[in-house]
């Protein structure tokens, strides 16, 4: 609606916004959508939000779709923010602890946000076929939204992807291909075949719009906290689009005068079996090397090489945050602990934030009475093999 251009997140080269784009033509890094925020702020106000539908499209002025008829929606966004008093009581210091529960989205994960925006833009730009690699929930979301938009979907998933995700994709009309390998191997197949097959690649951060849907988590947090951001956000990180998106949202809100320059300390949470961001952060690297022999039961965290690694690391450093890896045993145990105290059956990825928080407290990186948000990115019911 108020898009001015696309900008490379690395070299800052500008690209046209009204044509199909994947990665930067100069350096091959992700493109980010830029807006005329002065114009957006004329109609997108705190007051106007009070009468808008409770879904992510309430923030339409800072989303990329020009024609509202092209919006492909299943009611995604505006997920609940729960006070987690009982869980907080198990911690060694007193905290104001919250859980942002993304499992209430359509297709039961935060991936619905990104795919709503990406498929809507693909529709607006005339795409008929979409393709993506996925470790699970992104595939389910793409299959659902693309089917609703009348597009063909081609998915490439590791053979050991949770069975619920595979069935979900098959039942929502996708062409499902199981690959003996990791998500990076699936991504190579999409890259090799997309031109010949006529597919538009909607892989994580290989097109500009999934991050736009996911950034709305940042807008919602600000709105739900009455425009005062929390002190700490723990976010389970595979491809990292959600964390990148929220960081982008905070800058946009400040430019529109909604919040000040104070930012939450952003914490990237990974599994010890696949922790490229954690390793790169603590070694002071700008980019993360591919993690060897990646293995974790939390399939969404099994991303050995994230194309947006430099954007994740930049947000961690600028916010004064950090990166933490936890064991699979701890994150699976945390699923039950959260469920037994707060009644939420979290995905293993989201549950990983709890042992990560305990590590931060042990290291004195979270202080008494701070406000902390942990993100549950999906529904535990999709991971029954883990239990």
The dihedral through the CA atoms of 147, 205, 250, 97 has a sign that is positive
Q: How far apart are CA 288 and CA 42, in angstroms?
A: 40
**What mean pLDDT do residues 300-316 have?**
96
Q: Per-residue confidence at 263, pLDDT binned at 50, 70, 90?
A: very high
Give the residue carrying structure tokens 């990115």.
Answer: 377
Q: How far apart are CA 152 and CA 92, in angstroms?
A: 51
CA atoms within 13 A on the CB side of 58: 22
Q: How far apart are CA 130 and CA 122, in angstroms?
A: 8
Q: Per-residue confidence at 1, pLDDT binned at 50, 70, 90?
A: confident
Burial class (CB in 10 A: 0-12, 13-18, 19+), 16: exposed
Number of domains in the chain: 1
In this structure, what are the phi and psi dihedrals at residue 24, rounded to the nearest 5 degrees? -55, 135
**What mean pLDDT do residues 246-265 have?**
98
Q: Does 262 fall in a domain?
A: yes
Q: How far apart are CA 345 and CA 293, in angstroms?
A: 29
The secondary structure of 24-92 as a DSSP string is -TTT-PPEEEEE-HHHHHHH--HHHHTTS-SSGGGGGGGSS-SSGGG---SS-----EEE-HHHHTTSS
Q: Are 91 and 337 in contact (CB under 8 A)?
A: no
- Asked whether the predicted pLDDT for residue 142 surpasses 90, the reply is yes
The helix (H) or strand (E) run that includes residue 83 is strand 81-83
Q: Per-residue confidence at 233, pLDDT binned at 50, 70, 90?
A: very high
Domain limits for position 234: 81-109+210-386
- Asked whether the predicted pLDDT for residue 136 surpasses 90, the reply is no
Q: How many CB atoms lie within 10 A of CB 231?
A: 17
Q: Does 339 fall in a domain?
A: yes
Q: How far apart are CA 292 and CA 159, in angstroms?
A: 19
Q: How far apart are CA 238 and CA 236, in angstroms?
A: 7
Q: How far apart are CA 206 and CA 68, in angstroms?
A: 24
Q: How far from 252 is each of 61, 222, 255, CA to CA, in Å? A: 11, 12, 5
Q: Does 118 fall in a domain?
A: no
Q: Does 129 fall in a domain?
A: no
Q: How far from 26 is each of 31, 168, 193, 206, 326, CA to CA, in Å? A: 11, 37, 22, 14, 37
Q: What is the pLDDT of residue 329?
A: 98
Q: What is the pLDDT of residue 341?
A: 98
The dihedral through the CA atoms of 106, 107, 108, 109 has a sign that is negative
Q: Does 217 fall in a domain?
A: yes
- Asked whether the predicted pLDDT for residue 321 surpasses 90, the reply is yes
pLDDT mean across residues, the chain: 97
Q: What is the pLDDT of residue 11?
A: 97
Q: Does 373 fall in a domain?
A: yes
Q: What is the pLDDT of residue 363?
A: 97
The secondary structure of 154-198 as a DSSP string is EEEEETTS-HHHHHHHHHTT-EEEEESS-HHHHHHHHHHHHHHHT
**pLDDT, tens digit (0-9, with 9 covering 90-100), for 159-199:** 999 899 999 999 999 999 999 998 889 999 999 999 999 99
Residue 264 belongs to domain with CATH number: 3.40.50.1100
Q: How far from 77 is each of 145, 324, 338, CA to CA, in Å? A: 14, 27, 22
Q: Are 214 and 113 in contact (CB under 8 A)?
A: yes
Q: Does 190 fall in a domain?
A: no
Q: Which two tokens stand for residue 195?
A: 């031109």
Q: How many CB atoms lie within 10 A of CB 181?
A: 16
Q: Which two tokens stand for residue 139?
A: 């595939």
**What mean pLDDT do residues 33-43 have?**
98
Q: Does 128 fall in a domain?
A: no
**What mean pLDDT do residues 234-248 have?**
97
**pLDDT, tens digit (0-9, with 9 covering 90-100), for 200-232:** 999 989 999 999 999 999 999 999 999 999 999
| Residues linked to residue 14 through DSSP beta bridges, in sequence order | 7
């Amino acid at each position: 609606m108020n898009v001015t251009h696309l900008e490379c997140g690395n070299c800052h080269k500008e690209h046209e916004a009204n044509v199909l784009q994947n990665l930067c033509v100069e350096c091959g890094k992700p493109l980010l959508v830029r807006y005329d925020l002065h114009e957006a702020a004329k109609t997108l106000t705190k007051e106007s939000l009070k009468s808008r539908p409770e879904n992510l499209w309430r923030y339409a002025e800072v989303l990329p779709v020009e024609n509202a008829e092209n919006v492909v929606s299943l009611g995604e966004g505006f997920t609940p923010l729960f006070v987690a008093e009982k869980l907080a009581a198990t911690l060694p210091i007193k905290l104001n602890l919250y859980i942002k529960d993304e499992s209430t989205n359509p297709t039961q994960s935060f991936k619905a946000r990104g795919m709503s925006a990406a498929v809507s833009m693909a529709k607006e730009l005339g795409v008929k076929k979409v393709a993506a690699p996925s470790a699970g929930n992104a595939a389910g979301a793409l299959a659902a939204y693309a089917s609703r938009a009348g597009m063909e979907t081609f998915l490439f998933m590791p053979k050991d992807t949770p069975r619920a995700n595979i069935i979900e994709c098959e039942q929502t009309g996708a062409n499902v291909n199981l690959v003996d390998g990791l998500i990076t191997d699936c991504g190579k197949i999409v890259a090799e075949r997309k031109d010949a097959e006529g597919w538009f690649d909607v892989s994580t951060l290989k097109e500009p719009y999934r991050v736009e849907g996911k950034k709305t988590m940042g807008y919602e947090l600000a709105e739900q906290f009455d425009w005062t951001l929390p002190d700490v956000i723990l976010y389970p990180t595979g491809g990292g689009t959600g964390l990148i998106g929220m960081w982008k949202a905070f800058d946009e809100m400040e430019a529109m005068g909604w919040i000040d320059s104070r930012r939450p300390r952003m914490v990237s949470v990974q599994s010890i079996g696949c922790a490229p961001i954690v390793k790169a952060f603590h070694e002071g690297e700008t980019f993360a090397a591919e993690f060897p022999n990646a293995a974790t039961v939390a399939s969404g965290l099994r991303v050995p090489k994230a194309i947006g690694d430099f954007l994740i690391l930049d947000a961690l450093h600028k916010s004064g945050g950090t990166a933490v890896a936890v064991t699979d045993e701890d994150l699976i145990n945390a699923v039950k602990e959260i469920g037994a105290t707060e009644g939420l059956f979290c995905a293993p990825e989201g549950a990983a934030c709890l042992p990560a928080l305990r590590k931060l407290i042990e290291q004195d990186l979270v202080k008494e009475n701070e406000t902390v948000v942990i993100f549950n990115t999906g529904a535990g019911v999709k991971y029954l093999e883990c239990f």
